[in-house]
Structure 1
Amino acid sequence: MARELVDRRHEAELLRQAQAAPPSLAILRGRRRIGKSFLLARVLDGERVVSFQADEQDQRGHLDLLAVEAARLLPGAPPLHFGDWDEALRFFATQAEQAQVTVILDEFQYLCSAQPALPSIIQRHWDRWDRDELPLTLVLSGSALSFMEGLLGHDAPLYGRATQRPFLGPLDYRDAAGFVRASDPEALLRRYAVIGGTPQYQAWAGDRRLETVLRSAVLAKDHPLYEDPLHLLREGEGVRDPATYFSILRAIAGGATQHNQIATQTNIASSNLGARLVRLEDLGYLTGWAPLSADGPEPRRTSWRIADPYFAFYFRYVFPNRSRLERGLVEEVAREIGADLDNIMGRAFEDACRTWVGSYADEPEVGGSEQLGSWWSRDGSVEIDVVGVRKGRYALLGSCKWRRTVGADVLDDLHEAQAALGGKAMGARLALFARRGFSDELRERAQRERILLVTAADLFA
């Protein structure tokens, strides 16, 4: 069960290090609902912490609200007023001369939208704080990923000044399991395939059976999970023409992964589609997925995937059925989803297997891969679900099957795929991943050929 922090140990430690060794500048990145504000509130607390969460308004509004928060440093004093950002930053520096201060500017992109020069203003003050060894920690947090990455770029005013740069991603399948008491691996993987690794969504789903979560939350029109993906794109992310973005996500969730396929299904001109795909990628909702060869990813063959499992589920099952759900046909839609759910479990299982290889498996056992991904031939006739690459050679090749039992035919197919990759794949460790187990014939061959066999239960061991 989890209501405290779930697997944010690394990011929490980076923030603690920033606070413990001022002057320090930390830049925290991560998309919406991922838990940035929750993490900051739990890790950076105390009487000398000023935390301000910005929204879309002008600079005057931002400074007035920041002054209210900053007044916590001077209990009983008259109300503060900041005429501009220079005045606000000078105030924090003056306070730090008396005792250590931590200042958190959350959703930093909104502050910069109202005052584009803010990074340069902060740079001027930061250089002075750093020179004077002022005990002040400044944390800039934001969900506009490319913008926040840009703060770290070579040409950016704050380049080279960030002492900590934590990135907050979704929880993986094992850490997301911390939100429930259930221990059945298949049930946990199914839940992850639906709810995903967004902490807020896991919290909203609660410690309940997936069937209950579907009917009482995901498909219930009065529940946040029913509306949140649309709400984020309509209002939270500030995108123009959100209906167009809904259409793109619906097309990709339905299986259109290539640029031309998405353009055809959405009736969006190919020349206009690229910018929208990049925008969704910047917001953390899409990811480019390219075949991983021994020489690295093949970017010219990139396809598009919905990065968040819940968004993928939502735009496959909930969004196209909203009319029926609004009429109260929840049970009807839930039955259809239940009958089709295994069709999305293949990808979810593959993702979990790659995560296991990269984060939880014994490294020598899986070839010590430096890069992980998948590979498929140009004509689609050969697919390898798990590919590990090390020093220009294939270190691991794996096949994942969401079946109760996997037989020797799957190993034969993997050998053929290995041969299709050529000499750089010879000597790669082979692995088979199955939902429940393996046939006796396959187990005997695996022992002789030193094939790694992994079940869903092993992914949680």
Structure 2
Amino acid sequence: MPIMKPERIFDRDADWRALVSFVEHAVPEPALGVVSGRRRQGKTYLLTALAEETGGFYFGADESTGTEALRLFGAALARFTGAPAPIMFAGWDDALDHFFSLARERPIPLIIDEFPLLMKASPELPSILQRHLDRRWHVDREPCFARVLLCGSAMSVMGRLLAGQAPLRGRAGLELVVKPLRYRSAAAFWGADDPGLAALLHAVVGGTPAYGRQFVRNDTPGGPADFDDWVCRTVLNPQTPLFREARYLLAEEVEARDPGLYHSVLGAIAAGNATNGGIAAYVGRKSAEIAHPLHVLEDCQLIVKDRDLIQRKKPVYRIAEPLITFYQAVMRPRWAALELGEAERVWRGSKPRFLSQVVGPDFEQICRDWAILADDFFDEPPGEVGSALLVDHSRRENNKIQLDVVVMTPALLEERQRVLSLGEVKWDKVMGLGHLERLRRARDLLIAQGHRAEDAVLACYSGAGFDEDLRAEAHRDRQVLLVDLPILYG
């Protein structure tokens, strides 16, 4: 009988299949898997369900000393095996011997959640685990079906667990990153049938499942007309956990580092400063001085470093978690008033900034996410999707063209990449022929620069629609593509 995913787990079909396949592998030797992902994505929910469905062992670590952690681990093992008293171990070597002995007869998941907390208390633990795995792989002849799963939310720590010269490098048979729900799944999770409402919700809470359940007590907007009230009674309400969540996300990752500098860097990116130089100018520091904060935030996966798909050497940064962008653009500037309960007043004054700095960039990313899987709309499957900034040196004014969605073929050694599509995104503006002409000028520039862009589809993405002239031109010219909310969420 296949191990079925419980109905209470929304989406996550691919993640569940990967975990089940890892557990069910019938080879009588131990296997190691690493499960990571940003906080609040449902990793614990997924792993506890796996333990329940398979009769596996689950241990959730917490902040403690090494001695207490070992004692708690022994107590958890005793409960799992039905021992009459907690099992007292002399050290982690002794504990892991008992741990592996649980799986002598059948494949069984042995799950340690929040593994970075155990490592903090006992830094030697990865080396001890490596020794036990190697011994059972290469020395012992007794069967062992242990399916060890290490899980954690500290992305910088989990990223180093299998990297470089780390003890566990090369030992893992599963490396699963539990990501936020994709934008369509997020809309279904919130029950947002209206695509405009779904896009607005995504700009605030993204695809993080916890934000739709315990953080707002399952409070969802009743429809587009209820969105403003929903914002005021949830994310801008100091009585809900969601109110301080963006601050906690940063504090949990950067710990004792300078929080003011990190907030300023995030604020710079939220304000539209995407390059190293732009961020440095915004925070009043030299570029070299913000290199480390950018690296830390990227390592924690709070920001993402993309590459300009045309100017390959120019990195651009964006915030990975929409709630952090919302906090930086809307909440942080008026924090004192929000703490006094002035949510409605703050929200009225913040709506223009919300639309330009929060919804606009998030909608651009939704369009890029759509384009990477839009095989039916291009003559080749997309390989890379990103953005680019072109400069038309033949013009003195209006010489810059921002391309929000650039679609390229895969990067193959034997041939140059083709430009499959050039796109512009507008959330709250009806797009017309002027937007199309800008894209045509961009295509001509790329062709003149030697890029393979002759057949590039010119795509207009809009949350507000298109005028009749642009619709007529798209009907006439098969290289013009109009993408609206029903297509994005279809």
> 2 CA distance for matches of 1:395 and 1:71?
59
Q: How many angstroms does 1:235 deviate by?
A: 4.5
What residue is the counterpart of 2:413 in the other structure?
none
What residue is the counterpart of 1:433 in the other structure?
461
Alignment of 1:226-237 (within 5 A): 226-235=243-252
Say which is worse superposed, 110-119 or 373-382, in terms of deviation. Answer: 373-382
Q: Is the 8 A contact 1:432 1:454 kept in 2?
A: yes
Q: Is the 8 A contact 1:48 1:100 kept in 2?
A: no
Per-residue CA shift, 1:230-251, capped at 9, x if unaligned?
1233346534232332222223
Q: How many angstroms does 1:378 deviate by?
A: 5.8
What residue is the counterpart of 2:111 in the other structure?
104
Q: Is the 8 A contact 2:330 2:354 kept in 1?
A: no
Secondary structure of the 1:164 match is strand
1:301 matched to 2:326? The reply is no
Say which is worse superposed, 40-49 or 139-148, in terms of deviation. Answer: 40-49
Secondary structure of the 2:162 match is coil
Which ranges in structure 2 are unaligned for 5 or more consecutive residues?
1-5, 393-398, 411-416
What residue is the counterpart of 2:396 in the other structure?
none
Alignment of 1:47-86 (within 5 A): 48-86=55-93
What residue is the counterpart of 1:324 in the other structure?
337
Q: How many angstroms does 1:370 deviate by?
A: 0.7
What residue is the counterpart of 1:253 in the other structure?
270
> 2 CA distance for matches of 1:430 and 1:345?
23
Change (3 A) 1:232 1:440: closer
Opposite residue 176 of structure 1, the aligned amino acid is A
The structure, 1 or 2, with the larger RCO (C-alpha pairs under 8 Å, 6+ apart) is: 1
1:399 matched to 2:424? The reply is yes
Say which is worse superposed, 311-320 or 245-254, in terms of deviation. Answer: 245-254
Identity across the alignment (%): 34
How many residue pairs are counted as aligned between the two chains?
455
What residue is the counterpart of 1:282 in the other structure?
299
Counterpart selection for 1:20 from 19, 24, 45: 24
Change (3 A) 1:47 1:173: closer
Q: How many angstroms does 1:374 deviate by?
A: 0.9
Which ranges in structure 1 are unaligned for 5 or more consecutive residues?
none
**Hey, which bits of structure 1, 4+ residues long, moved more than 6 A?**
none
Q: Could you tell me the TM-score, scaled by structure 2's length?
A: 0.86
What residue is the counterpart of 1:87 in the other structure?
94
Q: Is the 8 A contact 2:423 2:439 kept in 1?
A: yes
> 1 CA distance for matches of 2:77 and 2:254?
27
Counterpart selection for 1:125 from 132, 135, 138: 132
Q: Is the 8 A contact 2:253 2:300 kept in 1?
A: no
> 2 CA distance for matches of 1:216 and 1:239?
32
Q: Could you tell me the TM-score, scaled by structure 1's length?
A: 0.91
Change (3 A) 1:326 1:364: closer
> 2 CA distance for matches of 1:47 and 1:82?
26
Q: How many angstroms does 1:317 deviate by?
A: 0.7
Opposite residue 293 of structure 2, the aligned amino acid is R
1:148 matched to 2:158? The reply is yes
Change (3 A) 1:249 1:111: same
Q: How many angstroms does 1:80 deviate by?
A: 0.8
What residue is the counterpart of 1:455 in the other structure?
484
> 2 CA distance for matches of 1:235 and 1:453?
42
Opposite residue 120 of structure 2, the aligned amino acid is S
Alignment of 1:169-248 (within 5 A): 169-203=179-213, 204-205=215-216, 206-208=219-221, 209-235=226-252, 238-248=255-265
What residue is the counterpart of 2:370 in the other structure?
356
Change (3 A) 1:47 1:27: closer
RMSD of Structure 2 on Structure 1 (CA): 2.4
Q: How many angstroms does 1:128 deviate by?
A: 3.3
What residue is the counterpart of 2:12 in the other structure?
8
What residue is the counterpart of 2:438 in the other structure?
413
Q: How many angstroms does 1:311 deviate by?
A: 0.5
Q: How many angstroms does 1:292 deviate by?
A: 1.0
Change (3 A) 1:189 1:354: same
